[in-house]
Structure 1
Amino acid sequence: METIKQLLNKTGGPHVLQSILGCDWDEETGRVRGNLQIAFDGEEFVELDWETQTWVSKHQDFVTKPMRQKLGEAAEWKNRLENFYIDYLKKFVKYGEKTLKRKELPQVWLLQKSSSSPVTCFASGFYPDRAVLFWAKDGEDLQGDWGEILPNHDGTFQSSVSLNLSSVPPGDWGRYSCVFQLSGVTDDLVTKLEPGRIRTNESTEPEVMLELNSHPPEAQ
């Protein structure tokens, strides 16, 4: 704090010094990357450049020898993050493996208010939230429009995405499918667009709209 105050010619009054220190580890590729940032009075002051192993700052004139002596050499911090800190991260992953590596596939429903309405693909109960849900034609992503992921009350997640059938000839329905992909799971969960799979309220009197929530939609 005192070193930065002197470098920036700050005197008197309250000041705030903040730091962020952490490391990322990709278990699949083994890639490791560290992060060290320091902010002064709410403004980023200096950070570690991982690739060049140097300190960088918008106040580059202040990354002087006295400052480096206070911070420590950037290469030393890189080595510390890359080895010492990453060992702790790996231990935490091992201790929490049951929770951190939990994979749960969802149940999937096709829902439609009426025969003229879009068909909604609704997936619920998956974990973690690193997933995508989309409509595909002949196996290819059709719209580039992935469903929004929302939390369920039990800690799992849900998502939904709709398909407008107005331009889809009945004979082509078999070419369409709803695809769910979960990070870390090799096989996609594919639900074919088939009339027998669709739940609708069209036959009810009075019509009751199906609600998308965290529970399986009841046939009305």
Structure 2
Amino acid sequence: MPLQPLLRLAPRLALRPLTALPLLVAATLPAQAQIGCRSDGQPAPAALFERFLSADCDTCWSDPRTPAPGPSALLLDWIAPSPQGDEAPLAAAAMVETTDRLQALGRSTPAPTAVHVAALERRGPQALRVVYGRPVAGYLGVMLEWRGSPLPPGAYRTTLALVEHLPAGTEGAGVARVLVRAATTADWDGRRPLKDLRGMRMPEGAQATRLGVAGWVQDAEGRLVAAARAHCE
């Protein structure tokens, strides 16, 4: 079944630093944080629950039997590019970042779907913080910050994802979706202060009230060290 306007209109998102990013973040984050676009006060997710589907499979998008986690998990939906390119039914929402994520997990392109679950290794006070500001010129100022104790020396990777929360039935979705619209990763040694500020472009036609930001940290073995999510209510 063909997808409705949301996925047809949504462009592949470019993620790039903004020349005026410090000004953007300073102007938007404090004001928007006051109305809830942050992870502060929210329980840390107990697990990362990622659903992958191929851009070839429009019936996967509408399948009401799609597995779903409990509310304590951080849910993400990724759409992988197809060899059909722009002719694939879900091509407009497919991202190269999905391929990168699958490779990081040691997986190939889903055929046609796949699920990856990573439980939080150590439970404790929320150490990771994510915040985002109001849209300015089509971009959101986004921040990922580590507020916990220094981690054991090692190689860590941080991920920031801009997501769109889509209730079941939206554009034919068979279940509620948390669709990843853009994602970026960075290396971190776990010792240096971490405060990642950047600009992320909004999807064309997206409703600002449906957008959110998620972030997580994994160690060199791929174990989930921390995760956080922010969504304006």
Measured against the shorter chain, the TM-score band is: under 0.3
**Could you state the TM-score of these two structures normalised by the residue count of structure 1?**
0.25
In terms of Rg, which structure is larger?
1
Greater relative contact order structure (CA < 8 Å, 6+ sep):
2
**Under a length normalisation based on structure 2, what TM-score does the superposition of the two structures give?**
0.24
Whose helix proportion is higher, 1 or 2? 1
